[in-house]
Amino acid sequence: MCRGLESLPITCLERAKELRALFGSLLQRSDHSITGQAKKSDKLRLHEVNEPLKWKESFDNLLSSQNGLCLFRAFLVSEFSEENIAFYLACEDYRTTKPSKLAAKAKKIYEEFICCDAPREVNLDYATREITKENMKRPNQSCFDQAQDKIHTLMEKDCYPRFLRSSVYLELTTKTKTG
């Protein structure tokens, strides 16, 4: 199933550590110039500082944030369920695949995440697994949609609430609010 931290790209692990330090250090800096006017770079900084608070608004806000996604993925590795986000992102990438490469890419995704005893098998019900298996006969951009929706819902209802209660996330939001 999950190969642990070594399966997470080193850049993502490094980015998660950087984010923790970044949000903490940004909150300690002054947000305005001496004249009281906000500088252009300060507006960016303010946006970055408030970013973790937006992740709590919705799961899709978290997924649409590069920083949030990276931190969430690192969290899932620590929870031994990184295959869920890996599958979700593979499906997102698959949708943009050129038609000539769909069959090969679909096969790779299916063998890595869907088929029985897949190395990174995701938790799908029998019906969804069978529909996806049937879709593999004629791969198109939407052949993984139902399976991806199931995994999205699973992460939203299970992993996302745990992430919001995690010490890393709570520490970031506490620093953001008290900054």
Domains of the chain: 82-158 (1.10.167.10)
* pLDDT band, residue 29 (cuts 50/70/90): very low
What pLDDT is stored for residue 30 in this prediction?
A: 35
Read off the pTM. Answer: 0.74
The winner for highest mean pLDDT among 17-21, 25-29, 79-83, 147-151 is: 147-151
Angstrom CA distances, 14 to 8, 67, 98, 176, stand at 10, 11, 32, 21
Contacts by 69-73 with C-beta closer than 8 Å and gap 24+? 70/12, 70/15, 70/16, 70/19, 71/15, 71/16, 71/19, 71/168, 71/169, 72/159, 72/160, 72/163, 73/8, 73/12
CA 23 to each of CA 37, 42, 43, 98: distance values in angstroms, whole numbers, following the listed order: 22, 14, 14, 38
- Distance in angstroms between the alpha carbons of the first and the last residue of the chain: 40
User: 18 falls in which pLDDT band (50, 70, 90)?
Assistant: low
pLDDT at 161 over 80: yes
Q: Residue 175: which pLDDT band, with cuts at 50, 70 and 90?
A: confident
Handedness of CA 110, 116, 117, 123 (dihedral sign): positive
- Residue 102, CB half-sphere, CA atoms under 13 Å: how many? 15
Q: What is the pLDDT of residues 94-153, one digit of tens each?
A: 999 999 999 999 999 999 999 999 999 999 999 999 999 999 999 999 999 999 999 999
Least confident of 30-34, 49-53, 63-67, 101-105: 30-34
Q: Which of 132, 136, 121, 128 is nearest to 84 (CA)?
A: 121
Higher pLDDT, 94 or 27: 94
What is the distance of C-alpha 35 from the center of its chain?
Answer: 40
**How much is the mean pLDDT over the chain?**
81
Of 4, 135, 3, give the one whose Cα is nearest residue 124.
Answer: 135
Question: Which pLDDT does position 15 carry in this prediction?
Answer: 59
DSSP state of 102: H
What is residue 176's predicted lDDT score, i.e. its pLDDT?
74
Q: What percent of the chain has pLDDT over 70?
A: 72
pLDDT at 52: 92
